[in-house]
Structure 1
Amino acid sequence: MSETLAAPSCPSACRAGSRGHRLTLWRRLSQVVMLGIIGQWSFYGIFRCPFVVPYLSCQSCPVVTCHGRILSMFWGFWLLLPLSAVLFGRAFCGWACPGGLVSQLMSLAAPFRLQRRSLVSRLAPYGKYLGLATALYVYFLLGQPRTNVPIRVGDFFGAVALTFEHAFPLWLWRTGVVLGLLALGLVLGNAWCRFACPTGSLLDIFRKLSIFRVYKTSACNDCNKCLRLCPMGTRPEEPNCTNCGDCLDACAVGAIGIGRKPQA
């Protein structure tokens, strides 16, 4: 990636053949590939993981059909997420997370998007830190509770139904909250990713430390065209920016770049 790639002036976002359009195509391809690689693990984590905080105790999981058991054998895999955060900030959310892809697809039907500057749009993203605090509390202080999960190799939906039938209240509460917030995305665009995801909040902490990013230059005049286009309702280098690059062609004065931000 080059040292600095300032966005050209472009009155319409994501024109065919433009840099932003090409980057969006690459991002969609990346999301589909990652869906094939870790998609099953993601959905098992919600519906079949016996632990209240999923994805963290795969080596102890009795569900042998979950890909997480395979991934847990390759400890190098777990270095990829923090490494991606150091290199690209929260790009995992916009380029690789299967849940993020589902949330984005659901948000296409959302009538409300909170893509304007307001007190609510500025404070709501901090709600995901409550999700992170809750996950840490359950994992460390409650000892990562584990529910009864039927060990079934075949029928996924039948196993899910039995899981819900036998699970204890805390597991049901966790699953209900996650599904409810995902469903909220049908009304308020990307609600889960923007306001509740614990992983997203953890990656957001590294956002300002990342080497490569989508950034604003000194030419920015706060027109907020990027904000009105952004599916996360934010601007480059601000909370919830996933470095997706959708805003690259939105700026009429070319104030959005991608790569290593030049030193002032």
Structure 2
Amino acid sequence: MPTLPSEEPRGAHQERAMAESFGEDPERYDRTRPRYPEALIEAVVAASPGPDVLDVGCGTGIASRQLQAAGCRVLGVEPDARMAALARRLGTPAEVATFEAWEPDGRTFDAVTAAQAWHWVDPVAGAAKAARVLRSGGLLALFWNALEFPAGLREGVADACARALPDAPFDVRAVMARPAVETYGAGLDRTADAIVEAGGFGVPRRWRFDWECAYGRDELLDQLPTFGVFTRLPADRMERVLEDVGALVDAAGGSVSVRYATLAVVAERTGGA
């Protein structure tokens, strides 16, 4: 489920209140958010010229730990001190700052990654900062899990979201009912364009990894409050969403198979340190 975009000419990186709302319950975030397919992690490691990785917007360190398990040395940068604290407790060194304001102090890396986070970074300034800290031939790898409910459930979830967000300045139902890959695809186009605009990289490429995950009713409802559209929703409205979606899952037999497309934009640093 994507973070719902505004129809105003603002990027998600300007929505700082939403960007820094995920730390309200970092343990739930880490417990319920999906991991990334091993094929993606292997591709990042294979395309990186070395093991030193800077993970931008590392959150609680979900992708960071997967990269560490694959042999990387990972440093996280995370603007929410609560998320960064949990990342550190779980084994990922993490510094608290937005990527735009973070000071590398002369440090350079073989790869800069961002998992479900780059839309919170100014796309041109972020790409320029990544170019600054990447070694020659280094990899910029930005990726997202695009969640796709089955068609019938997607429509019902879209209705529940529309009821919960009646004052949103855009058509909530239309956005939520649209296939997630379409929503993310438009964002990836903008991301690739910003990398080109920033300079210092070869032509951006796309990766895609498709997979599925089965959720029981309680598992799915545990994850829903961590989505950006819900993190600042009043408790009574969130409870109604959970009731509505829970009823949909019950009607589907108590569990649901969710499709994911893990989508990435990758680019190689040309020149550099």
Q: Which has the higher helix share?
A: 1
TM value normalised by structure 2: 0.26
Whose RCO is larger (CA < 8 A, sep 6+)?
A: 1
TM value normalised by structure 1: 0.27
Q: Which has the higher strand share?
A: 2
